[in-house]
Amino acid sequence: MKNKKLFAFVVFGLIFLAGCKTAKEQVNDEDESEILTVQNTPEILMVNFSMDSRDSVKIVNFLRNPGKLRGAMEEIGEPREGDLIISFLSETNMVCSKTIVENPLNKRVEYSETDDLSTLKAKTISLDSAEFFIRVQIDACFKRIMVEKYENEVVKRLGVYEISAYF
């Protein structure tokens, strides 16, 4: 009787141990699922720029965050005088995505000339320098950013920046 109980205990113990994974196998499985999740998670790229009155544009920094931009893709209209055209380019310089930014050096401000806030006036002021940012859904084809300015019905290139190192 004792032998039967011992035999049953050993058999059940072996079956139990055979069904268990080692801690290392469990960690590997978790790492693989985490990698798949991270690779499939959409990301938003935020790029901060600075610009001065000599049309010198510099990238201040990049921020990548998981997420998806809300809303449908907006139709990109025609640029107006002084607007910037920011294009994301592929390795072969094909445009992957494009956005138009109102001239960051022209700011519209509202103010009251008196203490009475019922009447506000507005005017546009020209700045010597400004910082601005854009947000875009990250695409695998993004390798460069090209910044252009629409001026006198001509598109003037201000710079092309490598961003592939950030992806």
Output the 3-class SS for 72-90: CCCCCCCCCCCCEEEEEEC
144's tokens: 């460069």
pLDDT value of residue 24? 54
pLDDT of 32 > 60? The answer is no
Q: Are 101 and 83 in contact (CB under 8 A)?
A: yes
pLDDT value of residue 82? 93
pLDDT value of residue 72? 58
pLDDT of 114 > 90? The answer is no
| DSSP letters spanning 107-160 | EEEEE-SSS-TTS-EEEEEE-SEEEEEEEEE--TT--EEEEEEEETTEEEEEEE
Question: What is the distance, to the nearest Å, from the Cα of residue 29 to the centroid of all Cα atoms in its chain?
Answer: 29
Q: Are 145 and 160 in contact (CB under 8 A)?
A: yes
Report the alpha-carbon distance of residue 133 to residue 45 in Å, rounded: 10
Phi and psi dihedrals of 142, rounded to 5?
-65, 115
Report the alpha-carbon distance of residue 92 to residue 83 in Å, rounded: 25
pLDDT of 75 > 70? The answer is no
Binned at pLDDT 50, 70 and 90, residue 164 comes out as confident
Binned at pLDDT 50, 70 and 90, residue 9 comes out as low
Q: Are 124 and 107 in contact (CB under 8 A)?
A: yes
pLDDT value of residue 8? 64
pLDDT value of residue 118? 75
Binned at pLDDT 50, 70 and 90, residue 27 comes out as low
Higher-confidence residue of 36 and 112: namely: 112
pLDDT value of residue 137? 92
